[in-house]
Amino acid sequence: MSTWKLGDVSVERMGFGAMRITADPDRAIAVLRRAVELGVSHIDTAAFYGSGKRFASELIRAALAPYPADLVIATKVGPGSDPERGFYNATTAAELREQVETNLRQLGVDCLDVVNLRITGEGSLGERFGWLVELRDEGLIKQLGVSNVRLDHVEEALAIAPIVCVQNSYAVDRRGDEDAIIRFCAERDIAYVPFGAITGAGDSAAVDALAKAHNATPQQIRLAWTLHHSPNILAIPGTGSVAHLEENIAAGSLHFSSEELATLD
């Protein structure tokens, strides 16, 4: 696997997304430990992944703490889950601070490696991002990113403080206007982290044909394409299965010809 930087830290471009690991804690711990064994150095999580006594970040802590020195754990705030309110979106500085502190507690750390502000709606992110900058300045966060954003949101955040990543929905057959954001980020050494890259928009004849040609699964072709598409893309496929994890990691070694890439593009 090749590497790219999340700010001042280099990570393997094939990472791991923790959203799907809460169904079976024992399997989750096995998957997380195997991921690190296979070279994964970037894990994506959030405090609202899970419910009751099963939260993804707490499983990460159980599996991997004390954490390897080269492991970067990125989390996100904005959406939250509360026993009384249910699922909600943070709209105040106090709510964002509470979410950051929940992430710290679940992961068992004093400072979060990367925090992405995930937004909903069309409005400005400036005030909310500014509140996270204040928490960064307090020493609770090392580096910042944004998620579920348009290009103007990225520009708005950069006018306030540096960001190390943009995390948006993106797949070979579900691209929208994201290529412009990817190019913008690549020019500024900002990582682009797609979620949903495996599922895509549906069946694709081009993906299926390449899967047969490379003796691979369609999901592996989708993952490999994201890594080929731009050097600043960091993949974060998620799974609760060691076998699927190993398939995902193996996708990092697939190579496409220029003709095959042109077909997928």
Q: Residue 50: beta bridge partners?
A: 55
Whats the size of the chain, residue-wise? 265
* Residue written as token pair 């697939």: 254
The DSSP symbol for 65 reads P
> Is 192 labeled as catalytic in the residue annotation?
no
Distance CA(232)–CA(246), nearest Å, equals 22
Residue 250 structure tokens? 């193996």
233: which residues sit within 8 A by CB, 6+ positions away? Answer: 4, 13, 182, 191, 192, 193, 194, 226, 227
Q: What is the dihedral of CA 202, 225, 169, 183, to 10 degrees?
A: -140
49, 67, 170, 192: the catalytic one is 49
What is the chain's alpha carbon radius of gyration, rounded to the nearest angstrom? Answer: 18
Reduce the DSSP state of residue 97 to 3 states and report it. helix
| Helices assigned H by DSSP within the chain | 25-37, 56-64, 93-107, 126-137, 151-158, 178-187, 205-213, 218-229, 242-250, 258-264
Nearest to 60 by CA among 51, 69, 70, 47: 47
The catalytic residue positions are 49
